[in-house]
């Protein structure tokens, strides 16, 4: 991208410095080369930016999925009724904030992003084992998983 940008800038500088000294055909040719290179640069820049945004969204979605699994495990283990995203509440007692605990648990897992809750040894108890451990407990909902699909990480 830097090379392309330098080429576009070089042609622009050449047009500004030598444009008036050139005959009409040379000036037209230089201007067309400049416009072609500028269009290509802008298109490549947009494509690169879109590709980076898509990759960022993909990775963010995997992390949000993992965090939803960690939060669900903590919620079930510690018998929380609900867990809210920090930005969604007006006030809360600092003692009920589990953000640091979620981050510590996630970081200690040392697994590839997007894999928490998948397969044996994942560190997250499946919902079926939670129900069997607590007779008469309601069937766990997909609330955490659904929330993970809708949630974003603030930047």
Secondary structure (DSSP) of 136-152: TPPPP-SHHHHHHHH--
- Between helix 24-77 and helix 143-150 the angle, nearest 10°, is 160
Confidence grade of residue 120 (pLDDT, cut at 50, 70, 90): low
Query: pLDDT at position 40, please?
Result: 93
Average pLDDT over residues 60-88: 87
The listed range with the strongest mean pLDDT (27-31, 41-45, 94-98) is 41-45
Query: pLDDT at position 145, please?
Result: 53
From residue 41, how far is each of 15, 28, 88 by CA, in Å? Answer: 18, 20, 41
Average pLDDT over residues 114-119: 79
pLDDT tens string 76-113: 898 888 888 877 776 677 888 888 999 999 999 988 88
- By C-alpha distance, which of 61, 115, 51, 105 is closest to 83? 105
Average pLDDT over residues 122-149: 46
Examine the pLDDT at 146 and tell me if it is beyond 60: no
pLDDT top residue among 56 and 148: 56
Query: pLDDT at position 86, please?
Result: 79
Separation CA 144–CA 68 (nearest Å): 5
From residue 27, how far is each of 9, 38, 82 by CA, in Å? Answer: 16, 16, 69
Separation CA 15–CA 27 (nearest Å): 7
Query: pLDDT at position 97, please?
Result: 87
Average pLDDT over residues 2-27: 88
Examine the pLDDT at 36 and tell me if it is beyond 90: yes
Separation CA 71–CA 34 (nearest Å): 54
Is the pTM of the predicted complex or chain greater than 0.85?
Answer: no
């Amino acid at each position: 991208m830097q090379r392309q940008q330098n080429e576009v800038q070089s042609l622009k500088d050449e047009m500004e410095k030598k444009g008036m000294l050139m005959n009409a055909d040379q000036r037209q040719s230089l201007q067309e080369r400049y416009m072609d290179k500028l269009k290509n640069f802008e298109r490549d820049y947009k494509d690169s930016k879109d590709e980076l945004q898509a990759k960022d969204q993909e990775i963010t979605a995997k992390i949000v999925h993992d965090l939803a699994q960690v939060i669900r495990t903590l919620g079930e283990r510690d018998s929380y009724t609900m867990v809210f995203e920090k930005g969604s509440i007006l006030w809360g007692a600092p003692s009920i904030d589990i953000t640091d605990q979620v981050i510590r648990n996630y970081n200690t897992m040392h697994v590839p992003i997007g894999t928490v809750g998948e397969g044996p040894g994942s560190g997250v108890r499946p919902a079926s084992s939670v129900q069997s451990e607590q007779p008469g407990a309601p069937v766990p909902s997909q609330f955490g998983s659904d929330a993970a699909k809708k949630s974003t990480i603030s930047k």
